[in-house]
Amino acid sequence: MKDLITRLDPKLQHLLARAAALAADVGATLWLVGGVVRDLWLELPIGRDIDLAVEGDINQLIVPLADAWDGTITARHPAFGTATITVGHWVIDLAQTRTERYPKPAILPEVQPAPLTKDLYRRDFSINAMAVQIIADGDQLLSAPLIDPLGGVADLTARRLRLLHDQSLRDDPTRLLRGVRLAARLQLTPDAATAAQIADALEAGYLALLSPERIQTELCLTLEEPDPAAVIALADQWGLTPHVIPGLHWTPALAERLSRYRQDTSEISRLAPDGLVIAGLVLYDLSDDALTQVLHRYHLPAPARNLIQDLIALRPHIATIAAATSPSAIDTLLQPYSIAAIAVLHYATETSIQQVVSRYLHEWRPLRPPLNGDDLRHLGVPTGPQIGQLLRRLRAATLDGLITDRTTAEQWVRRHLVDS
């Protein structure tokens, strides 16, 4: 029997020991549940999200627990018997043990308090339906046996993904997206019944019943996976991708560019947020129509919207970028676009363009001409639009090596003033 609890961070163990004492005071029992139990068993690192199930009246526990932990209640849904308390680094989700009833597919369930075993059964996959009781002696968290009524350990050992009941994907189609993430991350294979349920759910079109926001949340979680490429490859294999991003296919070219990005340690790989660049690389081969559909379907945050719009605008110019003969010409072409879009271009295109884009990002984009607007005024340029125009031309001349320092810049401005 593995001692799971002692693998937890000592500070978290301390918090849980306090929680056990408070739960006992109100006659409730606390259980560690969900992905943390699975990951403890697998001896994987434990993240900041901790799920606790409360068998008993959760409402008597939330405020005393937040006080005892010196934490903040960041969410509370009395109708669902759930709350979130943030304590330092940890985000601790508490939920009353319950059964769920889904009156219609893909909507939020009606919940009823129920014992732990029923709560475990209403969950998505066997490997996520295990629990460990939180019991303590004073400040000391005590080890407790793994509660695994649905065969989670056997499935983990066999690397098997198994849904717990036949209505699971109809009730909550996000489980298709959760399943593919989990299967890719932990290298699991659906058992025959689960594979059949996945195929049936896709054929029934259950994903289309979800709100775009719920799908989007799952897509963002995919981008945060240790290996998003593996998730996309598997999603394509399962036939999921046309339901979430029509036109998206796993191809050798996509695999190649994601691995190029993953292996790159240059400064370019750190210029834009990881998830944004990966999203851009994944979407890069989609047609303009398919990209526009993504923009219409999802309410993407501004950086992601801008990235997609930039890709639509930028892709037709690739041949021009390859043919451009001066740094200033490339600067003029690329300057209007976001760094993320240009980084995507860097990893998505062939070597000759990559080299140009790399020089643009490293040398040309950060370059500032030796004179600024104030300097131009001191040299006699009248205040007004001419300053901006001249600064742009000064920058272009600096990029092309016609201006090398302050002196050549001042000479250039004076010459320009005489000519104009």
Which structure tokens are listed for 293? 């559909």
Exactly one of 170, 175, 243, 395 binds ligand CTP (CB under 6 A); that residue is 175
Which member of 8, 32, 34, 232 binds ligand CTP (CB under 6 A)? 34
CB of 308 to ligand CTP, least distance (A): 26
- Is 82 a binding residue for ligand CTP by CB under 6 A? The answer is no
Q: Which is nearer to ligand CTP, 54 or 311 (CB)?
A: 54
Nearest residue (CB) to ligand CTP, 204 versus 312: 204
Beta carbon of residue 182, minimum distance to ligand CTP (angstroms, whole number): 6
Establish if 35 lies at the interface with ligand CTP (CB under 6 A). yes
Torsion sign across C-alpha atoms 214, 220, 224, 227: positive
For residue 162, state whether it binds ligand CTP (rule: CB under 6 A).
no
- Give yes or no for residue 172 binding ligand CTP (CB under 6 A): yes
CB of 127 to ligand CTP, least distance (A): 8
- Residue whose CB is nearest to ligand CTP in the complex, by number: 35
Which CB sits closer to ligand CTP, 150 or 409?
150
Regarding 119 and contact with ligand CTP (CB under 6 A), the answer is no
Smallest distance, Å, CB 15 to ligand CTP?
Answer: 18
Among the listed ranges 2-10, 84-92, 167-175, 187-195, the one in contact with ligand CTP (CB under 6 A) is 167-175
Q: How far apart are CA 53 and CA 30, in angstroms?
A: 6
Least distance CB 50 / ligand CTP (angstroms): 9
Q: What are phi and psi of 150, to 5 degrees?
A: -110, 15
User: Which range of residues in 23-31, 122-130, 133-141, 367-375 is near ligand CTP by CB under 6 A?
Assistant: 122-130
β-strands 82-87, 90-96: how paired?
A: antiparallel
Residue among 32, 92, 111, 124 that touches ligand CTP (CB under 6 A): 124
81 binds ligand CTP (CB under 6 A): no
Site string for ligand CTP, 41-80 (x = CB under 6 A): --------x-x-----------------------------
Smallest gap from residue 118 Cβ to ligand CTP (A): 13
State the binding string over 87-106 for ligand CTP (x if CB under 6 A, else -). Answer: --------------------
Burial class (CB in 10 A: 0-12, 13-18, 19+), 310: buried
| Residue nearer to ligand CTP on the CB measure, 222 or 398 | 222
| Per CB under 6 A, 166 contacts ligand CTP | no
To the nearest whole angstrom, how small is the minimum distance from the Cβ of residue 130 to ligand CTP? 9
- Write a three-state SS string for the chain: CCCCHHHCCHHHHHHHHHHHHHHHHCCCEEEEECHHHHHHHCCCCCCCEEEEEEECCHHHCHHHHHHHHCCEEEEEEHHHCEEEEEECCEEEEEEECEEEECCCCCCCCEEEECCHHHHHHCCCEHHHCCEEECEEECCEEECCCEECCCCHHHHHHCCEECECCCCHHHHCCHHHHHHHHHHHHHCCEECHHHHHHHHHHHHHCHHHHCCHHHHHHHHHHHHCCCCHHHHHHHHHHHCCHHHHCCCCCCCHHHHHHHHHHHHCCCHHHHCCCHHHHHHHHHHCCCCHHHHHHHHHHCCCCHHHHHHHHHHHHHHHHHHHHHHCCCHHHHHHHHCCCCHHHHHHHHHHCCHHHHHHHHHHHHHHCCCCCCCCHHHHHHCCCCCCHHHHHHHHHHHHHHHCCCCCCHHHHHHHHHHHHHHC
Torsion angle defined by CA atoms of residues 386, 390, 391 and 394, in that order, rounded to the nearest 10 degrees: 180
Q: For ligand CTP, give the closer residue by CB, 173 or 327.
A: 173
Of positions 123, 160, 243, 346, contacts ligand CTP by CB under 6 A: 123
Considering the complex, state which of residue 128 and residue 328 has its C-beta at the smaller distance from ligand CTP.
128
Alpha-carbon radius of gyration of the chain? 28
State in angstroms the smallest separation of the CB of 121 from ligand CTP.
10
CB of 47 vs ligand CTP, minimal distance in Å: 7
| Closer CB to ligand CTP, 214 or 262, in the complex | 214
* Nearest to ligand CTP of 39, 400 (CB atom): 39
Least distance CB 342 / ligand CTP (angstroms): 32
Mention every residue, 6+ apart, whose C-beta is less than 8 A from residue 115. Answer: 55, 97
Binding region for ligand CTP (CB under 6 A): 34-35, 49, 51, 123-124, 128-129, 172, 174-175, 178
